[in-house]
Amino acid sequence: MSRRPRLHIPHPPARPGEDPDFSYVEISPAGSVARPDPTARLRDIERSLAFEMIRVLDDNNVATGPWDPLLDPADLQIGLRHMLTTRLFDERMQRMQRQGRISFYMKSLGEEAVSVAQCMALEPSDMLFPSYRNQGLQITRGRNLVDLMCQCLSNSADMCKGRQMPIMYHWARGNIFSISGNLTTQFPQAVGWAMAAAIKGEDDIASAWIGEGASAEADFHHAMTFASVYKPPVILNIVNNQWAISTFQGFAGGENRPFAARGPGYGFPGVRVDGNDFLAVYAVTRWAAERARRGVGATLIEHVTYRADAHSTSDDPSRYRPKEEWKAWPLGDPVERLKNHMIAEGYWSEAEHEALIAELIEHVSECWEEALTYGTMTDGPQLDKNELFEDVFKDMPRHLIDQREQLRALEDD
């Protein structure tokens, strides 16, 4: 039988045991991409925004070019602090998972700039629709780490009342929407939220995040189509961290084109940004927010970054990619890059950095201790079991009252 397979199967750059190879990542020099007016005609700007890479920090850690957001040193310090807090929080929680204190965890190591810089570039009243790898949004918006920890612990102070897995936070007062286990569902929801803002004539905008793998889901297309038709004030972010569990970004269609290029297909800009460059992410987000606030419409942003750790505590990436891949990642570490920039500019020093880390480790530990006072899933104060039946509906219908009674009766036995 003469079989001539010609189905194309994407291949990641390297497998375990092979040398990392990121030559497929096209990188523009810092400062090389023009910054168009947010109202510019798509056809005049689409190509460079979607295909090149917006970068501000150059190889010497100097900010350069038209996208430099010219942030105050104080803001840089805040950004650095939030990124470090995110990282140290992640580290601690992963450790706690290893010790069996929480059931599951997902880190955002290497991607902290995306959440932190974007959140800083938006207004507190803007509505955020995160994925599970955006804990930096919570931290930057000022969420008490204790709240996040209590959620991961499903303890008596859990905002979700024990109903969601760890990291599936939400924060109504902080305008951060609930994280769903189902990928990409938040994308059209964010578009709808923004449509409502426009219908009501309110000024707030929405921003949503998905991974590049999740962009293959139907809801990506739904969000893009509705954004194309109604031009609502929304920012749609694809965090391209190269991996979706074990499959690399080629399995979402990233081999041929940047994900940012999807935007122009639908008639609005897609912007490709160095996701590990705090300043570039900030600047691009401001640009997109301006488009949204001025009623020009939606923007798609592709953040080029790298998932430095495992997908989750259930995953073992050494099975499918080289162990040292992160070291070869050409866009570096967002924390190191911002730190080095600040040091180069004279706003920061190694000593201050060490001190900040020490302070934050201490802070995370204190928060953890406090969180434990609200209990763990097995010890200490517990959620009321009756909560199991609350909030399915606004008012509990008869059949749930009956079921609650059945459970109570059993427990009483």
Partner 1 sequence: MAQMNMIQALNSAMNLMMARDPDVIIIGQDVGYFGGVFRATDGLQRQYGEHRVIDAPIAEGGIVGSAIGMGVNGLRPIVEIQFADYIYPGYDQLASELAKLRYRTAGDFFSPLTIRTPCGGGIRGGQTHSQSPEGIFTHVAGLKVVMPSNPYDAKGMLITAIEDDDPVIFFEPKRIYNGPFDGDPDKPAVPWSSHPKGEVPEEYYTIPLGRAEITREGSDLTVLCYGTMVHVCEAAAKAAEVDAEIVDLRSMVPLDVDTIRSSVEKTGRCVIAHEATRFSGFGAELAATVQEECFYSLEAPILRVTGWDTPYPHAFEWEYFPGQARLIAAFEKVLEAA
Figure out which of the listed residues 155, 241, 285, 313 binds Mg ion, where binding follows CB under 5 A: 241
Structure-token pair, residue 196: 């409502």
Output the DSSP codes for 358-379. HHHHHHHHHHHHHHHHT--SSS
DSSP 49: H
Structure-token pair, residue 46: 């689409």
The reply on whether position 253 binds a copy of itself by CB under 8 A is yes
Q: Ramachandran region of residue 69, left (φ > 0), alpha (ψ -120 to 50) or beta?
A: alpha
CB of 307 to ligand TPP, least distance (A): 5
The reply on whether position 41 binds a copy of itself by CB under 8 A is no
Figure out which of the listed residues 183, 190, 281, 288 binds ligand TPP, where binding follows CB under 6 A: 183
Output the DSSP codes for 184-241. TTHHHHHHHHHHHHHHHT----EEEEEETGGGGSHHHHHHHHHHHHH--SEEEEEEE-
Phi, psi of 154 (to 5 degrees): 45, 45
CB of 110 to ligand TPP, least distance (A): 11
Nearer to Mg ion, 154 or 312 (CB): 312
Q: Which residue is nearest to Mg ion (CB)?
A: 211
The reply on whether position 110 binds Mg ion by CB under 5 A is no
DSSP 104: -
334-345 helix and 278-293 helix, angle to the nearest 10 degrees? 100
Q: Which of 195, 217, 219, 220 is nearest to 206 (CA)?
A: 195
Q: Which residue is nearest to ligand TPP (CB)?
A: 211
**Site residues (CB under 8 A) for a copy of itself, limited to 103-142:** none
Figure out which of the listed residues 103, 125, 144, 182 binds ligand TPP, where binding follows CB under 6 A: 182
Figure out which of the listed residues 163, 221, 363, 404 binds a copy of itself, where binding follows CB under 8 A: 221
The reply on whether position 150 binds partner 1 by CB under 8 A is no
**Site residues (CB under 8 A) for partner 1, limited to 168-227:** 168, 170, 172, 177-178, 180-183, 185, 187-197, 199-200, 206, 213-214, 216-219, 221-223, 225-226
Which residues touch 152 (CB under 8 Å, ≥6 apart)? 93, 96, 102, 105, 166, 167
Interface residues toward ligand TPP, by CB under 6 A: 133, 181-183, 210-214, 239, 241, 243-245, 307, 311
Interface residues toward a copy of itself, by CB under 8 A: 2-10, 42, 195, 198-201, 216, 218-222, 224-225, 228-233, 250-253, 255-257, 261-268, 295, 297
